[in-house]
Structure 1
Amino acid sequence: GARKRQRYVEKDGKCNVQHGNVRETYRYLTDIFTTLVDLKWRFSLLVFILAYAVTWLFFGLIWWFIAYCRGDLDHLEDHAWTPCVNNLNGFVSAFLFSIETETTIGYGHRVITDKCPEGIVLLLLQAILGSMVNAFMVGCMFVKISQPNKRAETLVFSSHAVVSLRDDRLCLMFRVGDLRDSHIVEASIRAKLIKSKQTQEGEFIPLDQTDLSVGFETGDDRLFLVS
């Protein structure tokens, strides 16, 4: 039998095209925001978790290193000693202090003292970097959640298109319906004919695109989907 031709665009709007042998993959990193938004949900959530966990661990290590270099860990029982951070007695407490600082949940019995200028500088840096991480990651999640990709799941098209007479003219006809109760008002429709073409000069164009007239001039391309 005849080989079934694959669709160029699926009925849910996804392009049935796979990019292979992409060499300059570093270009995806130049627009890291869009790259993260385009990732699948499981990878986006992984990056979201790692972004916070890595910064907490990184600054927790620095807080512990400051306490170690100042000798605070050697004077835990010396009440006359003024440490950089009160009640910081190891890496775990330094990690918890890092979380408290970056998430601004409020300090408990671990609090920075005014006798530690390097700690004050680090506190400012972590507060600024934490705000940047929050803005970046929350922005990525918001854009990803607000994308209307899943809305297309409730827009259904007829299984077949037909060419038939209407008002003594041959017309290409297909049906589209909206399954949701919240209807799309002023929906705009476009139709393209994609086929292979060979020019008069002998050039072969595998995916030649032609816009079909669906009422751009008269405004008939704007639909009110009620069924």
Structure 2
Amino acid sequence: MNTKLQAVSEATQYASNEQNPYSRLITKEGDINICLKNIDSHYFLYLCRDLWTTLLDFKWYMKVTLVGLAFIVSWIFFGLLWYLNVVIYYSDLQSSSNHTICITNVNSFLSAFLYSLETQTTIGYGSRHVTGVCPFSIILLVFQVLFGIALDALVGGMLFAELSRPSRRSAMIKFSHNALISHTDGCLCLLIRVADLGRCFLVKCHISAKLFRKVPSKNFRAITFTQEDVKFTVDGSTQEPFLGFPVTFYHIIDEQSAIKGLNEQNLEHQKFELVIVISGIIASTGATCQARTSYLPSEMKWGHNFASILSVAEDGKYKANWKEFDRVNSSEKLQ
């Protein structure tokens, strides 16, 4: 009985997901809408092996917290080593007329912590220093200085990598909110508009698209997605489109098209997701940038064309009116 109730519940949940217009693989902003669950312990081992990428994927508050803890823990750890070095190894706290002090003005754990901080940050106030007669103290000093340099390099590299991440540049790639279906040069085409808002345009741009369709299993426990290629062109050119101005990409809907058979009546009943990916190289950094978006059938308008937003200014320069980027015009009635 419980098995039947579970099957009915899963079927109801799947049906509700099918009716949910926001159930998509890729959001309009390009985020991947997939949640990983029931990951085994080996996954965290893989994260530790790729620690650098794992650190970069953390949120900002996590990075600041980890960096702060790394410095504080290292100061406390080396401060404890300095204190043990003074108290146990060389017994500097013992009063003796002929005893040579290895570290001056270090007579408590707090002063050892301050000496550790001054050493690792290269502050060096001068009141605390190694006298040079204790080999172990010199070795510990060299080790902490090298550790401090490595930690500073790690934090600096993390900050540079975060500020120069291609994901920040991809946010300047703008996609039209709707995809349009209209006749272009006598062919039925699917149209999308793309623009690069950055002053330094991407080079070696490439556009690719995938059409995803859900294929549910018989027991409603799993969903399989089929993928089909959808080829887009710009005025017949598919090689490295120039995004210096808003560009309209075309996909010819013919017998070889993955979305063949569409018409105005069955468009709203279709169940697929069209994922668009624009990739290119950032000229200033040489890093690869990728921007994504997706279109559902409800976001496709039948019998419309994009309005022109380019004009010539008085000084002879071309001007693009971004307020009209998503504006569309009705075209002739499509058959």
Q: Report if TM-score (shorter chain) is over 0.5.
A: yes
Q: Which runs of 5+ in 1 are unaligned?
A: 199-203
Match of 2:82 among 63, 78, 85: 63
1:171 to 189, 207, 222: 189
- Report SS of the residue matched to 1:209: strand
What is the deviation of 1:67? 0.9
Partner of 1:143: 161
User: Which residue among 35, 42, 64 is the counterpart of 1:45?
Assistant: 64
Tell me which amino acid in the other structure corresponds to 2:161.
Answer: V
- Structure 2 residue corresponding to 1:32, chosen from 38, 42, 51: 51
* CA-to-aligned-CA distance 1:109-145 (integer Å, 9 cap, x gap): 2110122111111112212222222233322222122
Aligned twin of 2:24 = 7
Alignment partners' CA distance in 2, 1:173 and 1:81? 86
CA drift of 1:166 comes to 0.7
Distance in 2, Cα, partners of 1:61 & 1:223 = 60
Could you tell me how far 1:168 is from its partner in structure 2?
A: 1.3
- Report the Cα distance in structure 2 between the residues aligned to 1:3 and 1:205, rounded to whole angstroms: 15
3-state SS in 1 of match to 2:171: helix
- Residues 131 and 137 of structure 1: is their aligned pair in 2 closer, same or farther, counting only changes over 3 Å? same
Give 1:201's aligned residue.
none
TM-fit CA distance, 1:15: 0.7
Equivalent of 1:74 in 94, 103, 126: 94
Distance 2:184 2:102 in 1: 84
Q: In the TM superposition, what is the alpha-carbon distance from 1:170 to its structure 2 partner?
A: 1.8
- What residue ranges of structure 2 are gaps of 5+ in the alignment? 1-15, 217-221, 247-335
- Contact (CA 8 Å) 2:182, 2:188: kept in 1 or not? yes
TM-score by length of 1: 0.84
Is 2:196–2:243's contact at 8 Å kept on the other side of the alignment?
A: no
SS of the aligned residue for 1:190 comes to strand
Higher relative contact order (CA 8 A, sep 6+): 2
Quickly say closer, same or farther: Cα 1:158–1:219, change in 2 above 3 A: closer
Identify, as 1 or 2, the structure richer in strand. Answer: 2
Larger % of helix: which? Answer: 1
Q: Which residue of 1 aligns with 2:176?
A: 158
Q: Does 1:212 align with 2:230?
A: yes
15, 20, 25: which one pairs with 2:37? 20
CA contact (8 A) 1:59 1:95 kept: yes
Aligned pair in 2 of structure 1 residues 26, 38: CA closer, same or farther (>3 Å)?
A: same
Task: Show the counterpart of 2:111.
Answer: 93
Q: Is the 8 A contact 2:203 2:240 kept in 1?
A: no
Match of 2:308 in 1: none
Deviates more, 1:149-158 or 1:23-32: 149-158
Give the C-alpha shift of residue 220 in structure 1. Answer: 4.2
Structure 1 residue 223: deviation in Å? 2.6
- Rounded to whole Å, the distance in 2 between the matches of 1:145 and 1:79 is 57
Please say if residues 103 and 130 of structure 2, whose CA atoms lie closer than 8 Å, have aligned partners that are also in contact. Answer: yes
The reply on whether 1:103 has 2:117 as its aligned counterpart is: no
Give the letter aligned to residue 212 of structure 1. V
Give deviations 1:6-56, integer Å, cap 9, x for gaps: 121122221111111111223211211111111111111111111111111
Match of 2:304 in 1: none
Q: Which runs of 4 or more aligned residues in structure 1 lie more than 6 Å from their structure 2 counterparts after TM superposition?
A: none
Q: 1:80-127 CA distances to partner (integer Å, 9 max, x unpaired)?
A: 542121111211221121122222233522110122111111112212
SS at match of 1:106: coil
Distance 1:172 1:93 in 2: 72
1:215/1:221 contact within 8 Å kept: no
The one-letter code sitting in structure 2 at the alignment partner of 1:13 is: G
Asked if the contact 2:202–2:243 (Cα under 8 Å) also holds between the matched residues in 1, the reply is yes
Shift of residue 182 of structure 1? 4.4
Which secondary structure does the structure 2 equivalent of 1:74 belong to?
coil
Do structure 1's residue 117 and structure 2's residue 135 form an aligned pair? yes
* Distance of 2:152 and 2:97 partners within structure 1: 37
Instruction: Please state if 1:191 is matched with 2:209.
Output: yes
Kindly, what percent of the aligned residue pairs are identical?
A: 35
For residues 28 and 81 of structure 1, the distance between their equivalents in structure 2, rounded to whole angstroms, comes to: 51
